[in-house]
Structure 1
Amino acid sequence: MMADPARILVWDWAVRLVHWLMVILVPLLWWTAEEGYMDWHRSLGLTMFGLVLFRLIWGLIGSWTARFVPMLRRVGMLKSYIGKLRAREHGPTFGHSPLAVLGVFALLAALATQVTTGLFSVDIDGLESGPLAIMVSFETGRQFAEIHELNFNLLATLIGLHITAIAIYHFVLKEKLVRPMVTGLRSRSDFSAEQLPENRSRPIPMIAAAILSLASVMVILNFG
C-alpha cells in the first residue's frame, strides 16, 4: 500500500509500542508489589528495564522525533511556547513540544531510577531481593529499596501530571494527542513546511537496540 501523502509519520512504531507497554506495566508493577506477587514483580520489572534501556538507546539512534538532541534544542523555546499557550496562539508541534520534552525527560529519569534501584533492592527480612542485590550489602540493598519506594511516589505524580496535561490539551486547547500515539500519523496540513524534518523508520538501528536491550536483560537474569 502506498503512503497517504496527506498524512505524515510523527511517532515510529517503536516509540508507540514502548509507550503503551510502559502504560500497561506501571500499574501491573504497582499491583504485584502491593499484593506480594514478587516473582511476577521481578519479571515485569526486568521487562520494564529492557523497555527503558531500549528507549534510551532509541533516543540516541532512532527516528527524528524519538531522538533526545532535537528535544533538547526545543527546551530553549520553552519561554516562547508558554507565552503562546497563554495567548491561545500555539500550533501543533512536530514531535514533543518544549513542555513535553521536560515531561519525557522527567518520566524517563524516574523510570530509570525505579528499575535500577529495583535491581539492587532487598526487603526488610532479606527474603525478597532484586537480581543484582548480591552485589551489595544488606544495608545498601535496604537503602535501594527505600529509594525504590519513594521514587515510585514521584513517578506516580509525574504520570498524573502527564495525564492532566493530555486532558488540558484535549479539552482546552483542542489538540488531540492520544490518537497520533496510536496510529503514529498526523495530518500534514497541521504543520508548516519548515516544521517537517525527515522522520522515517530505521529498522536496522531498531533491531540493534532491541538486541542490545534483550541481551542486557538476559545478562541480569543469568547473573541473578
Structure 2
Amino acid sequence: MDDQTLVQVRVWDGWVRLVHWATVLLLALSWWSGETGRMQLHTLSGYAVLTLVLFRIAWGFLGSDTARFGRFLRSPAAVLRHLGQFRRPGPDREIGHNAAGGWMVLVLLALLLAQPLTGLFSAEEPEFSYGAKGPLAGLVSPGTSNWLTGLHEVTFDLILLAAGLHVLAVLAYRFIRRHDLVRPMLTGVKWLPMGTAAPRLGSPALAVALLAGAALLVYGVTRLG
C-alpha cells in the first residue's frame, strides 16, 4: 500500500469546531461591547464564553478522541522533538493536535476560563451606566473585587497574546511545512496517508447534555450574588 496516497479522514467533530469558532466571535464581541460601554451585551458574551469553555473541558475528558486531553497532551520532551523537526519537509500525519499545539490549547482554555470567572467578581466601573458590576462582586471585599477587575483586563491581553502566537504558528505551518491547519478546523476533514485510522467521534447526545449542563451551571453561578 502506498502510504503517500492521501485520503479524507474526519478528525474534528462539530463540537470542537463550534467551540473554536464561536469563541473567536465571542471574544471580538466582548472586546467591542466593553470598549463601547454595552455592558449588558458584554456580560452575556462572557457567560457564553464561560459556558463553551466549561463544555470544552468536559468534552476533553468524555468526548471524541481528538478532543481528549489524554490523547493530545504530550511530554515536554515530545514537544522539543516536534519543534526540532519543524523545518524538515514531510506530509502532515497528525490526526489531531500536534505536540506543541496541544499545550497551546491548554493555555488558551486556562486563560479563557480565567477571563469570565474574574469578570463575575469585577468592580463597578463609574463610566458605565448599566451592568458594569459583576454579579458576584458582592460576595468578595471591594479590594478583592478591584484586584480581580485588574486581573480581568490583564487576562484579556494575555488571551490576545496567546491567540496571536497561535495564528503565527498556523501561518508557519502553512508556509514552511505546507500543512493546512485551518481547513480541517472548518470542515472537520483532513487529508492523511491512506491507512490512517479515523478517530472515534463522541456521542452527539452526550455533547448536547454536557453543553446544557454547562449552561445551567453558569446560570446558577451567576444567580449566587
- Common fold: TM-score over 0.5: yes
Q: Deviation per CA, 1:152-211, whole angstroms, max 9, x where unpaired? A: 111110011111111111122111111111110112xx2464x63632231232122112
Query: 1:124–1:24: structure 2 CA closer, same or farther, 3 Å change rule?
Result: closer
CA–CA distance in 2 between the matches of 1:175 and 1:134? Answer: 49
Other-structure match for 2:22: 21
Task: Give the gaps of 5 or more residues in structure 2.
Answer: 1-6
**Greater percentage in helix:** 1
Deviation at 1:139, TM superposition (A): 1.1
State the TM-score, normalizing by the size of structure 2: 0.88
Unaligned runs of 5+ in 1: 1-5
State the AA in 1 paired with 2:186.
Answer: V
Distance, in Å, in 2 between the alignment partners of 1:186 and 1:74 is: 25
Partner of 1:217: 218
Distance 2:139 2:193 in 1: 51
2:64 aligned with 1:63: yes
- Mapped to 1, the partners of 2:173 and 2:203 lie a distance apart of 30
Counterpart in the other structure of 1:159: 163
| CA-based RMSD | 2.1
Mapped partners of 1:123, 1:169: distance in 2: 43
1:124: Cα distance to partner? 4.7
Match of 1:138 among 131, 142, 149: 142
- The answer to whether the 8 Å contact 1:74/1:101 transfers is no
Cα distance change on mapping 1:10 and 1:102 into 2, 3 Å:
same
Match in the other structure for 2:152: 148
1:35 pairs with 2:39: no
Alpha carbons 2:59, 2:67 under 8 Å: kept: yes
**2:3 alignment counterpart:** none
Shifted more, 16-25 versus 195-204: the winner is 195-204
Aligned length: 217
Tell me the distance in 2 between the aligned counterparts of 1:95 and 1:74.
16
| 1:27-73 alpha-carbon deviations (Å, 9 max, x no partner) | 11011111111111001110111011111111110100001111223
**TM-score, scaled to structure 1:** 0.89
**Corresponding residue SS for 1:86:** coil
- The 1:140–1:155 alpha-carbon spacing in structure 2 relative to 1, beyond 3 Å, is same
